C-alpha cells in the first residue's frame, strides 16, 4: 500500500517557520506518511495533484503573512478546496499576549491570521493553529528591533530567554509535535 503523500509548503522570514515545518514533517514521517517540505521562497511548486494533504505555514510579522505563502494560497485555491488542508502560523507575539492575559487579542489574531485567511480562499481546513515564533535580532531591521526593544522587559517576565545571543524562541515543541500527531489522526 502506498503511503499518503503530504506537502508542507511554508513562507518564513527568519527561519522559525522553516524549523517548525521540519518538526511537523519529522513527526508525520514517523507516523508513516510520505512528506515533501517546501520553502516557498526557494522552490516554486507547479502542481499539488499528488498530495492528499497540504499543510500551509507562514511566519507572521506586523499582522502579515509572508508574501510567498499568500501567493501559494491564491495560486492553488481552487485545487486546495478539493483537498485536505491544514494551516499554521508562527507568531513570536503569542507568548507575550498569553503572559499579559490578552486572550481577546489572541482570539482576534487567530481569527484574522487563520479563520479569515482560510475563508478568503474558500478553504475548510481539518486543523488550524498558531504556534510561537522566533525574534532574531541578528536578522531583523533596525526599526523592528527598536519596536521590540520596548517589549524586552516583558520577554523576561514571560519566561522568554535568549536561546543564543539576540535570539528569543517562543515555540513550544511539544505543542507542535502534538498538533502534527493530531493531523495524522485525521487522515
Asked whether 129 and 179 are in contact (CB, 8 A), the reply is yes
The span from the CA of 158 to the CA of 113, in Å, is: 23
Task: Give pLDDT tens digits for 127-174.
Answer: 999 999 988 888 888 888 888 787 777 777 888 888 889 888 989 999
Task: Quote helix, strand, coil % in the chain, to nearest 5.
Answer: 45, 25, 35
In whole angstroms, what separates CA 184 from the centre of its chain?
17
Other Cβ atoms less than 10 A from the Cβ of 68: the count is 19
Task: Give pLDDT tens digits for 35-52.
Answer: 999 999 999 999 999 999
Say whether pLDDT at 26 is over 90: yes
Element containing residue 149 per DSSP (H, E): helix 142-149
Name the more confident of 60 and 126. Answer: 126
For the chain, the domains span 5-134+171-185
Q: 5-134+171-185 maps to which CATH number? A: 3.40.50.360
87 closest CA partner among 45, 46, 107, 115:
115
60 closest CA partner among 103, 24, 101, 10:
10
Asked whether 92 and 168 are in contact (CB, 8 A), the reply is yes
Amino acid at each position: 500500500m502506498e503511503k499518503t503523500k503530504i506537502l508542507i509548503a511554508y513562507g518564513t522570514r527568519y527561519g522559525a517557520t522553516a524549523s517548525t515545518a521540519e518538526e511537523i514533517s519529522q513527526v508525520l514521517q514517523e507516523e508513516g506518511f510520505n512528506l515533501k517540505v517546501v520553502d516557498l521562497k526557494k522552490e516554486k511548486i507547479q502542481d499539488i495533484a499528488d498530495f492528499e494533504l497540504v499543510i500551509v505555514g507562514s511566519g507572521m510579522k506586523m499582522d502579515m503573512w509572508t508574501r510567498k505563502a499568500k501567493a501559494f494560497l491564491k495560486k492553488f485555491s481552487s485545487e486546495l478546496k478539493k483537498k485536505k488542508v491544514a494551516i499554521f502560523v508562527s507568531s513570536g507575539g503569542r507568548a507575550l499576549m498569553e503572559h499579559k492575559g490578552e486572550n481577546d487579542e489572541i482570539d482576534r489574531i487567530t481569527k484574522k491570521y487563520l479563520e479569515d485567511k482560510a475563508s478568503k480562499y474558500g478553504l475548510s481546513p481539518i486543523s488550524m493553529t498558531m504556534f510561537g515564533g522566533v525574534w532574531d535580532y541578528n536578522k531583523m531591521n533596525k526599526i523592528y528591533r527598536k519596536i521590540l526593544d520596548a517589549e524586552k522587559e516583558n520577554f523576561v517576565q514571560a519566561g522568554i530567554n535568549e536561546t543564543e545571543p539576540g535570539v528569543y524562541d517562543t515555540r513550544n515543541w511539544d505543542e507542535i509535535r502534538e498538533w502534527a500527531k493530531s493531523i495524522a489522526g485525521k487522515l
